[in-house]
A and B are shown apart, each in its own frame.
Chain A
């Protein structure tokens, strides 16, 4: 053989080793040290602290389901205001909503700014801590609500209200807005006999809430629509709010709940919303969920709330 052909044959031969065509390489991850994952929410004016504790796991491990002993202590300043013990609350997904536990307080959580701190311990994983300052209640009012409606991108009717935020100067402020109506809600539980039991109760139903304002971000859980005061620090800001309305009837007692959030809570709620949107979407940008729990994960949300009735 002349020319390049012997060279080519040698190259082809060299390429064919054991398992030579496998194009996948397994890589190691640093070992994950399990730590407490906390879910704690403090709302100014409430007499209850909602919480749960679970345990983090490495991505290559299975989700733990081990019932370890837990302890959560809540402080305002240096004063302990609540304490609870229990077991790790990792739950099947469909039960998660009902798995928040409560610490009942002797007095309501003050709406005035104060520093709150939590210490969460899970046996065998050490302690996690977090500190947040309770933000001032938002100064906000309804500027216009006339019963006007728009149709959203999915073809649903949405009510329109305009609110005015009076932003305090000199500090970063974060807000969340959601619409609420009174409605009959069907709730389901698994009873002691492991039977799935459902019943209708009358209570508050949240309506998905958004805004055409480009600065408004989607927030996770029930906080819905959020914004920060970057563009209106210390000034009045008018915000148009859209919310789903009853397609088949009239909503009873519609109202807006406006929250003041901390920066950490805002970042956490934005990142978790993005995370949920991106889940199982291979075309989505990766999301890093904001973490502000020292030596642990999850959230400590301290919020103040103002309710704005909507009457045309």
Chain B
């Protein structure tokens, strides 16, 4: 590390001799929102720069240049040409106006650089406008579900929002909302994500070749930025859907200086079902139903001056599934609720024309509670299972744009984690005398995570290099871990429209999500690495080519190999819902993972017909000494073929059609295939216990394949301009041809019923069958959207 720091001033000094630097912010003229990755190019020298996440750019020009002819551009916006005299460092902020054919272009806008020009590979930037057009389940636009349609990204199961990126598991994704880690990304048992698309500005997913500024997870970085807020005028948008409604308002508190954004979403199944349930109940019985989720996003932006900005962002969301019935003097019921609270305070400081600092303080909390109550006039019994994780952290990220050929990033960060990996509080009282009031389970654990990084984006003619190193440390219960992770990305331009790329990255992860393969429940536990549970590690190499055809089509083809060590899995037979007296560490085991494959991505970004085709061919293996007799086995989400086709067609300015088709190899699962009887050796009884001798098992773990998954979603949007703004009806259908996609598989002995008389039926268990059960049939939807 000492050598890296010594080297750094040398690197910084490169290109600093007698040059002038233009810097400033690139923003949307209508809203003041920063335009991530907007371009500026000096036409005489060909030197260019790209705006960072906060819209800041810095372009250093040669000393012998008297006047600079600058072209600022961003797809979907009118270019801005200007000529400036180059005499000294100066600030030049530019606002872009949307292009005339905004309706067509907005949704297909992407970052300024073409795919073959970017050094970073294995990265997909998805404009929120485009995500919003993908047909959605129940009309609820979902960022994560749209990401599942990209190559290298898989869903866990029908309707779920979990992301399995290049064979990794969901806990290996670093999901950042305005730079703050989000631990639970799902609502409604994973059917919806917590991200309200109306409040989002941009979404990017990195699957490999990770730049040094990211760390802490093995498989992906999902960077989601909320809108900053409209500094110019008040605006709003929202929708009324079948299951939820949402509203987003944004506008200036003080024009051009302070803005606020508030966005809220709530489902209302309880408001519909609650009265129906009550209407069917006797007079002395009353049931309160909790069946909803909500999200609340907020952001406050304040420009202290041209160089300093403050931001406060906030997210709170929760799911509630509960019933509570009061019947005479008896009260009983229970349920579960879980959710996140996330907040960040950010300070953007343009220190100079070449140096930009972003300082952030973060807080993130995830909790899940499972409640049960049974009380009457004399007895009270209450139990609550709870677990969660709290993070408090701070970080400083710096961009130093030394010259047109060197773009340095460096920074450091610290996070204090508090884990609550599962405990139960019990209260029992009789006649107001407390008989039991106790807490059983795992104690909270604290850990400290620290990191620092430095990276440089180097552009030398046709060769582009991103090189960096990420250093991380972790302390938990006196146990210390550290890791030095080199990162490298290469791009070589072959001609004007084709480039070859390669990358290498090492990653280390100190926290783990214990999640059950048996059931998809929100009872997952976040736990730290410990003295016994070593940090997860990975290294990944990728190579590929990227090309743009006819300015309309972007094609990328990548092959990758990823090796993971110390990945965590439950031991066979483990169950964390029962046996709370056991420490969670005794229920898990560690092993290795190996993933390799190829991804093809073809995208059309302009014209009336836009969309993409993504295809992934991959193999995904796990090997644990304590699972499957130590033999290698396919990961549950080993998906040999994964295809997605997304198409949007603009019939006119008012009518748009969209469709998405997905196909994937069925999940690998373990189900008993045969049985046999063995007898107990060394006869006798142990404390009166005799084990049942019949064993029903499978030859190998995950040796059975569920049926292949495929589905077609369709939607149509009918838009109309009104005096007050714009409205649109969006009608859609999920799973248009009603394919019964398997959600889980079970061996069952269904009842066979026979009419024994005209008024009675006799039922008895029939022969055993293996059944795949699906949960989401054809689901139509309609939503009314408005914007003003």
Query: Which A residues are within 8 Å of any B CB, using their own CB?
Result: 3-4, 7-8, 11-12, 14-15, 17, 20-30, 32, 37-39, 41, 43, 50, 52, 54-61, 63, 89-91, 93-94, 96-100, 153, 185, 203-208, 214, 220-222, 224, 244, 267, 270-279, 281-291, 297-299, 301
Pairwise interchain contact B674-A57, C-beta atoms closer than 8 A? yes
Which residues of chain B are near A8, meaning CB under 8 Å? 731, 780, 782
Assess the B680–A208 pair: CB atoms within 8 A. no
CB contacts between A and B, total, < 8 Å: 257
Interface stretch of the complex, out of B259-267, B283-291, B515-523, B756-764:
B515-523
Given contacts A59-B747, A205-B684, contact A27 B585 (CB under 8 A): no
Ordered by A's residue number, 11 sampled pairs between the chains whose C-beta atoms are within 8 Å are A4-B716, A20-B778, A23-B773, A37-B677, A59-B674, A63-B694, A97-B690, A185-B685, A275-B572, A287-B670, A297-B695
Enumerate chain A residues within 8 angstroms of B769, measured Cβ to Cβ.
26, 60
Counting chain B residues whose Cβ lies within 8 A of the other chain, the interface size class is 35 or more
Closest to A22 in B: B740
Q: Is B745 an interface residue (CB 8 A)?
A: yes
Chain B residues contacting A290 (CB-CB under 8 Å) are 629
Say which residue of A26, A52, A56, A285 sits within 8 Å of B575 (CB atoms): A285
Give the residue name and chain of the A residue nearest to B626 (CB): A270
Please give, as numbers and ranges, the residues of chain B lying within 8 Å of A41 by CB-CB distance: 681-682
14 further A-B pairs in the complex, CB-CB below 8 A; given A54-B679, A89-B677, A301-B681:
A22-B740, A29-B770, A32-B674, A50-B683, A55-B676, A91-B677, A97-B683, A99-B679, A208-B687, A273-B573, A283-B516, A284-B574, A285-B573, A286-B572
Q: Are A50 and B682 in contact (CB under 8 A)?
A: yes
Q: Which A residues lie within 8 Å of B681 (CB)?
A: 39, 41, 50, 100, 221-222, 299, 301
Query: Contacts of B629 on A, CB cut-off 8 Å?
Result: 267, 271, 288, 290-291
Q: Which listed residue, A23, A99, A278, touches B774 by the CB 8 Å rule?
A: A23
Shortest Cβ distance from A202 into chain B, in angstroms?
Answer: 13
A-chain residues with CB within 8 Å of residue B678 when the two chains form the complex: 37-39, 52, 54, 297-299
| Interface status of B771 (Cβ within 8 A of chain A) | yes
Contact with B670, one of A98, A272, A274, A286 (Cβ below 8 angstroms): A286
Cross-chain contact A63 with B575 (CB below 8 angstroms): no
A214/B532 contact (C-beta < 8 A), A23-B773, A24-B773, A63-B675 known = yes
Expressed in whole angstroms, the minimum distance between the Cβ of B633 and any Cβ of chain A is: 9
Q: Which residue of chain A has its CB nearest to the CB of B748?
A: A24
Cβ–Cβ contact B686 & A222, under 8 A: yes
Name B677's contact: one of A60, A90, A206 (CB within 8 Å).
Answer: A90
**Inter-chain contact B707/A27, CB cutoff 8 Å:** yes
**Chain B residues positioned under 8 Å from A90 (CB to CB):** 677
The reply to whether A11 and B675 form a contact with Cβ atoms under 8 Å apart is no
Residue of B nearest to A89 (CB): B679
Contacting pair B696 A25 (CB below 8 A): no
Q: Is B272 an interface residue (CB 8 A)?
A: no
Q: Shortest CB–CB separation between residue B140 and chain A, in angstroms?
A: 17
Tell me whether A25 and B575 are in contact in the complex, defined as CB-CB below 8 angstroms, given that A91-B677, A288-B670 are known contacts: no
For B519, B577, B686, the residue with the greatest tally of chain A CB atoms inside 10 Å of its CB is: B686
Q: Which residue in chain B gives the minimum CB-CB distance to A20? A: B738
A283 cross-chain contacts in B, Cβ below 8 A: 516, 518-519, 575-578
Residue of B nearest to A4 (CB): B731
B733 and chain A: residue at smallest CB distance: A11
Answer yes or no: B601 CB below 8 A from chain A CBs.
no
How far, in Å, is B515 (CB) from chain A's closest CB? Answer: 10
Alpha-carbon gap, A297 to B627, bound state (A):
18
A4: B residues at CB distance < 8 A: 716, 718, 729-731, 782
Contacts of A224 in B (CB 8 A): 686
A contact residues around B570 at 8 Å (CB): 285
| Closest chain A CB from B484 CB (angstroms) | 27
In the complex, the chain B residue whose C-beta lies closest to that of A290 is: B629
Once the chains are docked, how many angstroms separate the CA of A93 from the CA of B680?
11
A112 to B670, CA, bound (A): 39
Q: How far is the CA of A283 from the CA of B587 in the complex (A)?
A: 13
On whether the beta carbons of A58 and B673 are closer than 8 Å, the reply is: yes
Establish whether residues B774 and A289, one from each chain, have CB atoms under 8 Å apart when the complex forms.
no
Contact with A along B650-684 (1 / 0, CB 8 A): 00000000000000000001111111111111111
- CB within 8 A of A25: which of B684, B768, B774? B774
Asked if B675 contacts A56 (CB within 8 A), the reply is yes
Surface stretch bound by A, among B196-204, B637-645, B698-706: B698-706
For the complex, give the distance between the alpha carbons of A30 and B738 in Å.
27
Considering only CB atoms, which chain A residue lies closest to B701 in the complex? A288
Contact of B697 with A by CB under 8 A = yes
Kindly state whether residue B571 has any CB partner on chain A within 8 Å. yes
Alpha-carbon distance A55/B675, docked complex (angstroms): 9
Cα of A282 to Cα of B519 in the assembled complex, Å: 8
In the complex, B693 has a CB within 8 A of chain A: yes
> Bound complex: CA of A45 vs CA of B618, how far in Å?
53
With A15-B778, A63-B677, A221-B691 as known contacts, state yes or no: A285 contacts B697, CB within 8 Å: no
